[in-house]
Amino acid sequence: MKPLFCGVGTALITPFTDCNKVDYKALKRLIERQIRLNASAIILCGTTGEAPTLSDYEHKRIIEYGVAVCNGKIPVIAGCGSNDTKHAVMMTKFAKSVGADGALIVTPYYNKTTQNGLIAHYFTILDSVDFPLILYNVPTRTGVNVETETYLKLIKHKNVVGIKEAENSLSKIGELSLFADKISIYAGNDDSLIPIILCGGKGVISVLSNLIPDKVAEVYRLLTNGNIAQAKSIYLRYFRLIKALFCEVNPIPVKYAMSKLSLCKNTLRSPLVKMKCTKVMDNELTRLMEDIVL
């Protein structure tokens, strides 16, 4: 199946008002900015979008609203994962019904499961709705890792179009490269962008691109055109910013950074709290201010 996107998919934050309501006006501005600055896709209601604290009503409305704002200009990929298989099926069916282009399905968290349980979980979703799915592996969040042998079974299903891999293991990246010609592999962390692209990956699902989608897109373009040295030079300019974005739990730092740029309020939902130490982030934003297009 054709990739949902090639390049930079922004794992978009969910902006909240001071009263902790979803800020749809800010969301519209953020989506329009992503389109203007060359993002290839947006991912709504994922980890960076604080999906665990969204009600089903908010979750559904954000997806529907995002589809309307994008209006076909770039793909909308809806975060539909759950540790309850039936809930994941429901959300995936909803995403399809309102015109999303695909769904991102994280592995079950907290209750976890075995590799056989992962296969059963994903196949239940895949068989329930004819819709493009990206499998999402982030073991530091979920406590469960998708083994390569499990991937090889799952990608046989016609509705699996991609893998977002966030294990950050060079060995795993090497293993995935063996079937990168059969499925779209996306870097799940900004700091693994270069090795995954060089191993045949189709792009990155990025937190950094909330701030500088145009620069991340440029790194991807250079890499795919074989200009590795130039891509590396640009990438290294932002490496300290990438580290700053993960100095505390995502999306705490990126929301702080975006609030400093007046792109959103620095409002998070509990149990997330505002950054305690902001000096490193402030220094990076000051250093890179001329690079950031608002």
Q: What is the pLDDT of residues 168-184, one digit of tens each?
A: 888 888 898 888 989 99
CA distance 6 to 175: 20
Is pLDDT above 80 for 142? yes
pTM of the model: 0.96
Q: Is residue 85 part of a domain?
A: yes
Q: Helices 85-97 and 115-128 meet at what angle, rounded to 10? A: 30
CA distance 17 to 10: 21
Average pLDDT over residues 67-76: 98
Average pLDDT over residues 246-269: 98
CATH number at residue 142: 3.20.20.70
**3-state SS track over 188-233:** CCHHHHHHHHHCCCCEEEECHHHCCHHHHHHHHHHHHCCCHHHHHH
Sign of CA dihedral 247, 248, 251, 256: negative
275 contacts 253 by C-beta, under 8 angstroms: yes
Q: Is residue 271 part of a domain?
A: no
Distances in whole angstroms, Cα of residue 233 to Cα of each of 54, 117, 145, 237: 38, 43, 32, 7
Catalytic residues: 136, 164
Residue 112: predicted pLDDT = 94
Average pLDDT over residues 214-239: 97
Is pLDDT above 80 for 116? yes
Q: Is residue 22 part of a domain?
A: yes
Q: Is residue 281 part of a domain?
A: no
At 190, list the tokens.
């900004």
CA distance 278 to 291: 20
At 137, list the tokens.
């592996």
Residue 64: predicted pLDDT = 98
Is pLDDT above 90 for 97? yes
Residue 171: predicted pLDDT = 87
Q: Is residue 265 part of a domain?
A: no
Residue 169: predicted pLDDT = 83
**Angular region, 183: left φ>0, alpha ψ -120 to 50, beta rest:** beta
Is residue 251 reached through a cis peptide bond, with omega within 30 degrees of 0 on the bond before it?
Answer: yes
Report percent pLDDT > 90 for the chain.
94
Is pLDDT above 80 for 221? yes
Residue 168: predicted pLDDT = 80
Q: Is residue 211 part of a domain?
A: yes
Is pLDDT above 90 for 262? yes
The contacts of residue 71 (CB under 8 Å, 6+ apart) are none
CA distance 12 to 22: 13
Residue 11's domain comprises 7-235
Structural domains in the chain (count): 1
CA distance 239 to 79: 27
Nearest to 187 by CA among 175, 256, 173, 179: 173
CA distance 278 to 269: 19
Q: Is residue 208 part of a domain?
A: yes
Residue 155: predicted pLDDT = 96
Q: Is residue 284 part of a domain?
A: no
What pairs with residue 40 in β-bridges? Answer: none
